[in-house]
Structure 1
Amino acid sequence: MDKVTRILLLYSKLIQGEEINKTIFCFENEYSPRSFDRDIDAIRLFLSDTFSMSELTYDRTKNTYSIPGTQNVKLGIMEYFFLEKILKDTAILRRDELETLTEHLLSNTERSKLIHNIKKNWKEDYKNPVHNKALLKIYGDLVTAIYSRKRIMIRYFKADSEEVKREVIPCLLKYDRGYIYLIAYLTEEEYEYPAYYRLDRIDSFVIMADQTKIQQEKVQHFREKYSKGITQMYAGEFKEILVRCKKEYVPYVLDKFKDAEEIERGESASTIRIFAFEEGFVKWMLGQPAEMIHIKSPESTKNKLIEEALKIVKRNEGKYE
């Protein structure tokens, strides 16, 4: 057996979740333990060079190699329908990408033949997003850049179609109201907070260099302190905000703001502490029922909310051009 065939055979068994016993594998495939060791090293190097999340492990007690987490456990039918529902209703993906993704899910689902006829019904009704861009490939490439701690240069089109290039330090990718955003710091600026870039407006990007230790610490600080306070992809100053909301509205607010804390509970209403970027929080508040929630503090956030509400009133009265 030639080297390429040996490595492919070994790798295919590993990614299918098999535990490979060195002695048995060498005997069955008629090659030496030394060749086996070289092939294992080649697979380890491949996983490292491709920034794979998978890790090749060795169990001394069994003399076996495996890649944990690769066991092929099929989805249940209800698990498939749950994932399909989320993908359809968020409508992030172009139809061809959605079909490909759901087909992959379906191929790993129990009793998948029962679902095929149902699946045909929604494909014709699914509406592509207006941008009509393919997203899966660039999403995957950006995830790799984030996990491998790279600086990147993005080619980006603003809302007015102006093309710009930005060298950035990517922090994370986040979904919000029908779009996925890249959240990243500008490399040459010392802003405390990052910028947001809609994924469908990123035409392409290239790797520039590894992040410095200071840049890596900045990304980590953002993830730990600020990432849960992002609301509707607007920035502004990061603030502690107190709101008062009706008892039945508390679970919704706590689900929306993952670091929120109920600090005072009354019979019919509670006070909740929220840490969030102010501009995004104000935009979110404008869409909430006034009888359910209001801002207690700070005054600056209250005033911003009032200013924005007055703009809406004037616009609808025809007082703005």
Structure 2
Amino acid sequence: MLDDRKASRVLSLYDRLRKGSVLKKEHLATEFGVSPKTVQRDLDEIRAYITDYCIGESVVYDYGQKGYVIENNSSNTISAVEVFALVKILLESRAFNKVELDRVLDSVCSIISKSEQQAFRDLVLNEKYHYQPVSHGKPLLSMIWDLGQFIMKKEIIKITYKKMDGRDRERTVYPLAIVFSEFYFYLIAKIENSEYETPAFYRIDRIVVVKSIGRKFSYQRYEDGELKKRVQFMYGGQLLTLKFKYNGPSLESIMDRFPTAQIIEQFEQETVIKAEVFGKGCLMWILSQGEQIELLEPIELREELRKRSTELLNRYVF
């Protein structure tokens, strides 16, 4: 019974330190009905454990606060401002429903110092209140984690996927990567026995069921990082090499849009750029750029762009 009380007391002290509390020996001795020397021995045991198993951390006496705290001496600790920047990105993404958003915010808030937590919560409170997730409203974290494990272990999986028309379709796929683009997470996967070598794209919120089929794959055509450089538009299809002229005000924004972009020629008024992408999803983006972009190659894609532009123009002819 005595050992149980001690274990419970030590765990309680450790938990409080982890949460950023300041531990004062005299107060704790009164609370637990033990002597200050007993509390000191408990703290010494916790200090020894943290020194041995928690790199860069130590239990120290803070003379300003007149109590014991955990001090982190590692250069890799994250600050409140760094957490705030990550949270801003998270809120702007609108990717998670409100339940999962709250869980993530509580988790990241807990890793900053207790003295900064209230200021952090005040900074995000208004945005959190007005947060509007995307319309599907589905929980995603568990699915993203499970898919990540299949990718890491190179396990072939069978997915049931709900198409835009509402119908379910089953696919056996080699999961290659998870990417986030414009509100949605996507699974990039190679369809088993498909005539196409290029990967397909599945919105993770539309994946209904995932099952491992007990086999592994060795598909190595694209490294994960190289694959992600070419999937900006989340459309499947063949790997295409675009060549286009750009005459807009921000060449930097174009280079950021296409991680594979190379400047071929540069003139006073325009720049010729080459970049690789999967599929024809880039057409929608090119149309959105208006006269700032002129697609030169591939010729077939240029012709399709001309056709779409003509159809769009005809809608506004009186």
Give runs of aligned pairs for residues 1-321 of structure 1, distance below 5 A. 73-110=76-113, 111-213=116-218, 215=219, 217-218=220-221, 221=222, 223=224, 226-246=227-247, 248-290=249-291, 292-315=292-315
1:185-223 per-position Cα deviation (integer Å, ceiling 9, x unaligned): 11132311111111100112011123233x3x24xx264
1:277 deviates by 2.5
> Which of these two proteins has the greater Rg computed from alpha carbons?
2
- Tell whether the 8 Å contact from 1:247 to 1:270 is kept in structure 2 after alignment: no
Specify every segment of 5 or more residues in structure 1 that has no aligned partner in the other structure, as ranges.
17-27, 30-63
State TM-score, norm by structure 2.
0.72
Whichever residue aligns with residue 280 of structure 1, its letter is: G
SS at match of 1:205: strand
Distance 1:108 1:224, change over 3 A: closer
Q: Which runs of 5+ in 2 are unaligned?
A: 19-44, 47-51, 57-71
Q: 1:243 to 1:65 in 2, by over 3 A?
A: same
Cα RMSD after superposing both structures: 3.1
SS at structure 2 position matched to 1:105: helix
Q: Deviations over 1:9-41 (max 9, x none)?
A: 9xx9xxx9xxxxxxxxxxx89xxxxxxxxxxxx
- Offset of residue 122 of structure 1: 2.2
Q: Which digits, 9 at most, give the CA deviation of each residue in 1:145-197, with x for residues without a partner?
A: 10111101112111111112211100111112211111111113231111111
Kept in 2, the 8 Å contact 1:229–1:277? The answer is yes
3-state DSSP class of the match of 2:209? strand
Deviation at 1:85, TM superposition (A): 1.1
Which residue number corresponds to residue 20 of structure 1? Answer: none
Q: Which amino acid aligns with 1:131?
A: H
Alpha carbons of structure 1 residues 270 and 83: separation in structure 2 relative to 1, 3 Å: same
What is the deviation of 1:248?
A: 3.1
In structure 2, distance between residues paired with 1:131 and 1:206: 22
Cα distance, 1:269 vs structure 2: 1.9
Q: Which is worse superposed, 107-116 or 128-137?
A: 107-116
Q: Distance in 2 between matches of 1:118 and 1:223?
A: 36
Q: After superposing the two structures, state which structure 1 stretch, 77-86 or 88-97, moved more.
A: 77-86
- How many positions carry a matched residue from both structures? 258
Q: What is the aligned partner in structure 1 of residue 36 from structure 2?
A: none
Partner Cα separation in structure 2 for residue 115 and residue 162 of structure 1: 44
In 2 relative to 1, CA 203–278 (structure 1 residues): closer, same or farther, beyond 3 Å? closer
- SS across alignment from 2:229: helix
Query: Relative to 1, partners in 2 of residues 1:67 and 1:157: Cα closer, same or farther, differing over 3 Å?
Result: farther
Instruction: Name 1:56's counterpart in structure 2.
Output: none
* Shift in CA distance, 90/286, structure 1 to aligned 2, threshold 3 Å: same
Q: Sequence identity of aligned pairs in percent?
A: 26
- TM-score (ref. length: structure 1): 0.71
- Cα distance in 2 between the residues matched to 1:211 and 1:254: 37
Q: Is the 2:179–2:228 contact (alpha carbons within 8 Å) kept by the matching residues of 1?
A: no
Q: Which amino acid aligns with 2:305?
A: L
Residue 227 of structure 1 deviates from its aligned partner by 3.5
- Partner of 2:290: helix, strand, or coil? coil
